[in-house]
Structure 1
């Protein structure tokens, strides 16, 4: 009867094998017979043995930890992404260090300078401000993956969706509903560098509804308050309203819907609203929010796979993550 924490030698003794064999089983060595594998696993389960991950990683020259670095963890998109990254890391026996930069340039420069290099085996970094050239010329050799839309062609695997195609799909949904006066919140400057704006314009060009300048608004940020302020400005101008609004993020869309409802404007009867990102709150808002859903689980799985095997072949210039249109009450009633 073992009253202390079970050790590797206890498993070996119970299974009737060597400590080396137990170690091979734990580390996934392929050339082990099914009979031996079953005996060792039965002994592990019976004793409640848990490998010392710190010691194992140290022997392999690894930290057993990845860093997820985002602009703001309280943004719903990044909070949801963090959950998926943690799950994907746990599947390979690793943990996640989470940091936020606030989108500050100097903070992002510290990330690529090697601030985390002695503590982590790789970084999943979502920059807001730093340019591709600086990232490509970094001196730190820590494996790096870049999710999102802000930086590509930076000498590191870039995981993201085709934002232009996704925005075009969202806008086409409004057009297919018969909306003919379309606006967008979160346009960005310069406009042509914003792939979501390009997708919005492309959908209009394809079919022909109009989007007047007064219906295109650059929000101060991506929060609900920013969306509400932008929509309030459109309403207070005193001009005819658009009958469909595409918002560059769900958070902006929820704010826009609040402004419309506060002014007695019905959603979707008077103005249909669609967002982007499929944050959890959108499914339970009133009305629930139509949106573009990004496969965050796929981003997390691919990011951990690439960090676990640095140098894995990947096309840095192509979006590889799936997306889909989710239709809810804010457009379909």
Structure 2
């Protein structure tokens, strides 16, 4: 560490602060230390650090299922980011159930993880006490009502609004919302539906609730939603799919019906999973800022683990979204 300090022109304490992620270090200092670390090939003894601090060096990650492309991609980013910080990651699959999520919380304590990053889907306000405890937890994705914990999310409302405006600008007037949810429910799907409806209202386009096609959030669910819309005689010239997996199913369902994308129907997804760019046609989608979200979640969690923030101080972060335009909306 002293060699790194000399090479960067700072003190050994400053090097330690940078490596351990302490705040109040300038970006210029962080850059100089990082360059010195790379140049000298410095590797921190993480085992010794965890032994001194009484931590295990393991954090938990609870997601509905790594078989889902979005969560598999998210898990890979968390594992890579945690490794750079000297942590290993134990993945829990909750099955998108309340029981699975509460079990993941309990397992994190029983298995003496240092903390938990959790993609909550089904926990309710009555579970707030389980999360607000003397244990580092960061919720990722869905904002969990009733829990006084750090949260990292995405711009669901704004992203869906941007996607809808994109479809409107390309001439769509009857936009099916695949996975759409009615007002009054909670969760990302409801926020994305609300963002879509707000964009329609801003453009003076009348809403038609027949176009809100609720379904299972799977590729098969997307294809089935197309079949139900067509069997019900509901015409549509655009599809806002609330996940990319749904969008892939919609493209297949339209093809099975003898319709082309984007020739007959324009399709937009949400999440920008790795396979979206390689679909045929490649998928226009909302990229929610995965890398920034994961970095923020790891920063929040490691701050909690190190005790650098008081328990009552809660942070939140929303990833920077952008619309990635590809072939599925390009005629």
Classify the TM-score, shorter chain. Answer: 0.7 to 0.9
Whether the 8 Å contact between 2:140 and 2:151 is mirrored in structure 1 is yes
Distance 1:147 1:79, change over 3 A: same
CA distance in 2, matches of 1:172, 1:139: 39
Quote how far apart the aligned CAs of 1:118 are.
4.6
**3-state SS in 2 of match to 1:116:** helix
Please say which of residues 182-191 and 122-131 is displaced more in the overlay: 182-191
Quote how far apart the aligned CAs of 1:325 are.
0.4
Q: Tell me the equivalent position of 2:72.
A: 79
5+ residue gaps, structure 2, are: 4-11, 19-32
Q: Tell me the equivalent position of 1:122.
A: 115
Please say which of residues 229-238 and 304-313 is displaced more in the overlay: 304-313
Match of 1:54 among 39, 47, 54: 47
Deviations 1:60-99 (A, max 9, x none): 1111111111011111111111111112112211111111
Whether the 8 Å contact between 1:224 and 1:252 is mirrored in structure 2 is yes
Q: Tell me the equivalent position of 2:219.
A: 224
Please say which of residues 229-238 and 168-177 is displaced more in the overlay: 229-238
TM-score of the superposition, structure 1-length normalised? 0.80
5+ residue gaps, structure 1, are: 1-10, 16-23, 31-36
TM-score of the superposition, structure 2-length normalised? 0.81
**3-state SS in 2 of match to 1:146:** strand
Q: Tell me the equivalent position of 2:231.
A: 236
In the alignment, structure 1 residue 95 sits paired with structure 2 residue 83: no
Distance 1:191 1:229, change over 3 A: farther
Q: Tell me the equivalent position of 2:150.
A: 157
Please say which of residues 243-252 and 153-162 is displaced more in the overlay: 153-162
Q: Tell me the equivalent position of 1:64.
A: 57
In the alignment, structure 1 residue 247 sits paired with structure 2 residue 241: yes
Q: Tell me the equivalent position of 2:21.
A: none
**3-state SS in 2 of match to 1:208:** coil
Root-mean-square deviation (Å): 2.9
- Structure 1 stretches of at least 4 aligned residues deviating more than 6 Å after TM superposition: none
Q: Tell me the equivalent position of 1:28.
A: 16
Whether the 8 Å contact between 2:222 and 2:246 is mirrored in structure 1 is yes
Quote how far apart the aligned CAs of 1:56 are.
3.1
In the alignment, structure 1 residue 274 sits paired with structure 2 residue 268: yes
Q: Tell me the equivalent position of 1:203.
A: 199
**3-state SS in 2 of match to 1:154:** coil
Match of 2:318 among 317, 320, 325: 320
**3-state SS in 2 of match to 1:245:** strand
Distance 1:50 1:295, change over 3 A: closer
CA distance in 1, matches of 2:63, 2:75: 9
CA distance in 2, matches of 1:68, 1:145: 10
